[in-house]
Amino acid sequence: MSSVVKDEHHDEHPSGIMRWITTTNHKDIGTLYLWFAMIMFFIGGLMALVIRSELFQPGLQFVDPQFFNSMTTMHALVMIFGVVMPAFTGLANWMIPIMVGGPDMALPRMNNWSFWIMPFAFSMLLSTLFMDGGAPAGGWTLYPPLSLQTGDAFPFLIFAIHFMGLSSIMGAINIVATILNMRAPGMTLMKMPLFVWTWLITAFLLIAVMPVLAGGVTMLLTDKFFGTSFFNAAGGGDPVMFQHIFWFFGHPEVYILILPSFGVVSAIIPTFARKPLFGYASMVYATASIAFLSFIVWAHHMFTVGMPLAGEVFFMFATMLIAVPTGVKVFNWVTTMWKGAMTFETPMLFAIGFIVMFTIGGFSGLMLAITPADFQYHDTYFVVAHFHYVLVPGSIFAIMAACYYWLPKWTGNMYSETLGKTHFWLSTIFVNLTFFPMHFVGLAGMPRRIPDYSLQFADYNMIASIGAFGFGFAQLIFLYLIIKTIKGGTKATDQVWEGAEGLEWTLSSPPPYHSFNTPPVIK
C-alpha cells in the first residue's frame, strides 16, 4: 500500500524496504499488520485445504495421520495468532489514533517492535514443518501429556508462542496508552466510537491473559526439559491443571478474537442505515460485561474432564449468562437497521452477513453451554462448526467488512463494487456450504481432529470439502481487489460514504502522514 503515503514528510524517511523496517508511523505499521495477516490467511487457508482434501472421502488418500494432526494444529495457531489477531491490531493501528483525534500511536517505537516480532515468531513456528518429528501435532490447545510427545519442534513452538504473546501484549499496551492519553480535547470516553471502546476492552483482556498463556507454556517447557512435574501425575502434578490454565487464557482469548468485530459492525451498520447506532451506552456495558464474564466461564471447555457436579453447574450457568449481553448487541444492531434508509454496499453486506452467521454461531454456543448436552457435542464436529461460525463468518467477515469500509479512506481510491459484491456472495455461499454440514456430522457422532472417518459421515464431509475449496478460491478475488484498489481507481471523496460519521471522514482520502497535528474540535 505504498501509494497510501504521499505527502510532505515522505522525503524525510528512508525509502524502499528500510522505510518499512524502521517505520514508527501508525498507518505504515497498520498496513504491515494487515498485509501480514493477509499472507498468513493464505498460508493457514492452504493448511485447511490439506485437511479438507484428506477428509473429502473416507480412507487415507493424501497425508499421513501425523501430518494431518500437524495441519489441524498449525492451521489453528496460524489463523488465531497470525490472522485474526494481527488483522485487528492492524485495524486498530490505522484507525484508533484517527478516531480519537490523535497524531499517532502513544508509543511509536514500541509499535515498530511489536510488529516486527511477528514475522520472526511465525518463521520460527512454520520452520517446525521441516523438523525431525514434524510440526506440533498435539492440537493448538497443547494439552499435555500429548503435546510433550512433540519432537524437535517443541521448544520452537513454545518460543514462537512466547514471541506472539509478547507482540500482542506490546500492541495492547500501546493501544491502551493511545486511547487513554491521546484523545483530542472533548473526546470523552463515552463519545468514543465503539470500535475504540471494544479495542480498549480487548487490549485489557490481552494484557490480562497473554501472560497466563506464557506461564502455562513455560511450565510445559520445564516439564519436558527440566524435569518438573507441573502436569505429570507421576510427580504429583495434574494434566487437567494445564487445561485450567490454558482455558483461563483461552476463553478471554475467544473474546479477544470477536470483540473488535463488534466495534467494526457497530461502525458500519449506522453508516449504511443512515441512522445513529441504537443503544450506544448499552453496547459499551454489554462489551464490558462479556469481558468480565469471560474470566469465569473457562471450564465449559472441560465439561468432560470429570469436575464435581457443583463445578459443572456453576460453569453452565455462567456460560449461559453470556448470551444476555451478546443478545443485547444483536438486538441493538437490528434496531439500528429498523426504520433506517439502508443501502447495501459491500461493507454493509459483510456486516449483515456477520450478524446473521455470528448469531448462528451464538446459538450453537448456547447449546454447547448445556452441560448434559455438551457431553454429546464435546470434541465433535458440532464444536468445529460452532467456532468456525463465530470465527470465519464472524471475525473474518468483520475484518473484511472493515477493509471494504476503510479501503477508500486508506488508499484514496474506490474499490470495484461489483467485485466486492461477488466476493461477498461467493464467500457467504461457500462458508455455509463448508461449515453448516459440520453441525450434522458432529451430531451424528464424528469426533474432531480425525484424518479418516466411518462411512455414515461421508456425504456431508464431501460437501464441506467442496465448500472449503470454493471459499478458498473466492478469497483470491479479495486479494486481487485490494491490489487493484491500491494501484488506482476512481478517486474517493473525503466523506466516502454518505451516512458515515466520525473523525476519520474529516481527513483527506488518503489521510496525511500524521493524522491530527492540531487536535480536531469535537462537537
Partner 1 sequence: MKEKKLNIRTAKKLIFICFSMFLFSFALIPLYNIICDVTGLNGNTSNLKEKVEAYTETISTEKLNVQFISHQYNGEKLVFKPSEFEMVVSPGKVYSTVYIATNKTNSNIVGQAVPSVSPNEAAKYLKKIECFCFEEQTFEPGKVVQLPLYFAIDEKLPNRIKTITLSYSFFEALNVSKKD
Partner 2 sequence: MSLIKNLIFFIASMSVFNIAQAGWLDLNMTEGVTDLSQEVFGLHMLILWICVVIGVIVFGAMFWSIAMHRKSRGVTPATFHESTSLEFLWTIVPFVILIGMAVPATKTLIKMYDHSDSEIHIKITGYQWLWQYEYLNTNVSFYSKLSTPYNEIYNKDTKNINYLQEVDKHLVVPVNKKIRFLLTSNDVLHAWWVPDLALKRDAIPGYINEMSVVINEPGIYRGRCAELCGRHHGFMPIVIEAVEEKEYEEWLANADKVKSSDVAKINK
Which residues form the catalytic set?
A: 75, 104, 140, 167-168, 251, 253, 255, 266, 300-301, 326, 329, 448
**Whole-Å CA distances, 369 to 35, 318, 336, 377, 392:** 36, 9, 29, 10, 21
Does residue 238 interact with partner 2 by CB under 8 A?
yes
Task: List binders of partner 1 among 262-321 (CB under 8 A).
Answer: 306-308, 310-311
Q: How far is the CB of 324 from partner 2 (least distance, A)?
A: 5
Q: Which amino acid is at 459?
A: D
Residue 95: closest CA among 516, 389, 521 = 516
Does residue 141 interact with partner 1 by CB under 8 A?
no
Does residue 173 interact with partner 1 by CB under 8 A?
yes
Of 379 and 494, which has the nearer Cβ to partner 2?
A: 379
Cell reading at 112: 515498530
The b-or-e profile of 185-198 (16+ CB within 10 A means b, else e) is eebeeeebbbbbbb
Residue 416: closest CA among 505, 492, 352 = 492
Of 115 and 397, which has the nearer Cβ to partner 1?
A: 115
- Provide the mask over 267-286, with x wherever binding to partner 2 is found by CB under 8 A and - wherever it is not: ------xxxxxxxxxx----
Q: Which does 182 bind (CB under 5 to 8 A by kind): partner 1, partner 2, none?
A: partner 1
Does residue 290 interact with partner 2 by CB under 8 A?
no
Query: How far is residue 165's CA from residue 210's CA, in Å, rounded to a whole number?
Result: 6
Query: How far is residue 87's CA from residue 41's CA, in Å, rounded to a whole number?
Result: 10
Does residue 219 interact with partner 1 by CB under 8 A?
yes
Kindly determine how many residues on this chain lie close enough to bind partner 1 according to the rule CB under 8 A. 44
- Tell me the DSSP string of 343-366: ---HHHHHHHHHHHHHHHHHHHHH
**Which member of 119, 145, 489, 519 binds partner 2 (CB under 8 A)?**
145
Does residue 236 interact with partner 1 by CB under 8 A?
yes
**Which member of 50, 126, 245, 328 binds partner 1 (CB under 8 A)?**
245
Q: Which amino acid is at 245?
A: I
Query: How far is residue 283's CA from residue 363's CA, in Å, rounded to a whole number?
Result: 20
Q: How far is the CB of 212 from partner 1 (least distance, A)?
A: 4
- Provide the mask over 423-442, with x wherever binding to partner 1 is found by CB under 8 A and - wherever it is not: --------------------
Does residue 514 interact with partner 2 by CB under 8 A?
no
**Which member of 119, 133, 237, 519 binds partner 1 (CB under 8 A)?**
237
Of 42 and 331, which has the nearer Cβ to partner 2?
A: 331
Query: How far is residue 299's CA from residue 246's CA, in Å, rounded to a whole number?
Result: 10
Q: Which amino acid is at 213?
A: L
Does residue 476 interact with partner 2 by CB under 8 A?
no
Query: How far is residue 124's CA from residue 77's CA, in Å, rounded to a whole number?
Result: 12
Task: List binders of partner 2 among 328-387 (CB under 8 A).
Answer: 328, 330-332, 334-335, 337-344, 352, 355-356, 359-360, 363, 366-367, 370-373, 375-376, 378-380
Does residue 219 interact with partner 2 by CB under 8 A?
no
The b-or-e profile of 64-85 (16+ CB within 10 A means b, else e) is eeebbbbbbbbbbbbbbbbbbb
Does residue 137 interact with partner 2 by CB under 8 A?
yes
**Which member of 381, 406, 453, 516 binds partner 2 (CB under 8 A)?**
453
With 0-12 / 13-18 / 19 or more C-beta atoms within 10 angstroms meaning exposed / middle / buried, residue 132 is exposed
Q: Which does 230 bind (CB under 5 to 8 A by kind): partner 1, partner 2, none?
A: partner 1
Q: Which does 450 bind (CB under 5 to 8 A by kind): partner 2, partner 1, none?
A: partner 2
Neighbour count for residue 384 (Cβ, 10 Å) = 21
Backbone angles phi, psi at 294, to 5 degrees: -60, -20
Query: How far is residue 75's CA from residue 61's CA, in Å, rounded to a whole number?
Result: 20
Query: How far is residue 269's CA from residue 335's CA, in Å, rounded to a whole number?
Result: 10
Residue bearing cell 493477509: 38
- Provide the mask over 104-133, with x wherever binding to partner 1 is found by CB under 8 A and - wherever it is not: --xx--x-----------------------
- Tell me the DSSP string of 284-310: HHHHHHHHHHTTS-GGGG-GGG---HH
Cell reading at 500: 458515515
Q: Which does 107 bind (CB under 5 to 8 A by kind): partner 1, partner 2, none?
A: partner 1
**Which member of 234, 281, 372, 455 binds partner 1 (CB under 8 A)?**
234
Residue bearing cell 526439559: 225
Does residue 211 interact with partner 2 by CB under 8 A?
no
Q: Which does 352 bind (CB under 5 to 8 A by kind): partner 2, partner 1, none?
A: partner 2
Q: How far is the CB of 215 from partner 1 (least distance, A)?
A: 3
Q: Determine the interface stretch with partner 2 among 121-129, 187-195, 230-238, 477-485 (rule: CB under 8 A).
A: 230-238
Of 43 and 307, which has the nearer Cβ to partner 1?
A: 307
Query: How far is residue 202's CA from residue 196's CA, in Å, rounded to a whole number?
Result: 10
Per CB under 8 A, residues contacting partner 1 are: 106-107, 110, 169, 172-174, 176-177, 180-182, 207-216, 219, 227-230, 232-238, 240-241, 244-245, 248, 306-308, 310-311
